[in-house]
Amino acid sequence: KAGVTQTPRYLIKTRGQQVTLSCSPISGHRSVSWYQQTPGQGLQFLFEYFSETQRNKGNFPGRFSGRQFSNSRSEMNVSTLELGDSALYLCASSQTTGGSYEQYFGPGTRLTVT
């Protein structure tokens, strides 16, 4: 099976702009989670989607939003970009089988805000 793919891999934006990142999960996985990784704050949970519904959300401002499509692909959007939004954004797809839970991570999108 193909792994989790994220596009684009690298992105440079200017303060005040908005950005959309895309994630394609492993075939058959219905859950997608997003994380922000920065040197200062580490890995932080953004949100989790399952069957097009947001099931869980981290402590991020409303500028961060996401959605999931019927084919389980997911997008996250950040509006009014700030310098502090510069980070590696990781997407993970997951499945729960027989009481076991496991996430598979994509390579990430490196966002630089100037």
Partner 1 sequence: AQSVTQLGSHVSVSEGALVLLRCNYSSSVPPYLFWYVQYPNQGLQLLLKYTSAATLVKGINGFEAEFKKSETSFHLTKPSAHMSDAAEYFCAVSAYTGGFKTIFGAGTRLFVKA
> Which positions touch partner 1 (CB under 8 A)?
4, 31, 33, 35, 42-45, 48, 50, 54-56, 58, 90, 92, 94, 99-108, 110
Residue closer to partner 1 by CB (options 44, 79) is 44
**In whole angstroms, how far apart are CA 81 and each of 31, 59, 85?**
26, 17, 6
- Smallest distance from the beta carbon of 29 to partner 1, in angstroms? 12
- Smallest distance from the beta carbon of 61 to partner 1, in angstroms? 18
d(C-alpha 87, C-alpha 41), whole Å = 10
Residue closer to partner 1 by CB (options 15, 55) is 55
> Among 96, 95, 106, which residue's Cα sits nearest to residue 37?
106
Residue closer to partner 1 by CB (options 10, 14) is 10
**Please, what's the b/e burial string for 4-42 (b: 16 or more CB within 10 A of its CB; e: otherwise)?**
bbbeeeeeebeeeeebebebbbbeebebbbbbbeeeeee
Residue closer to partner 1 by CB (options 79, 105) is 105
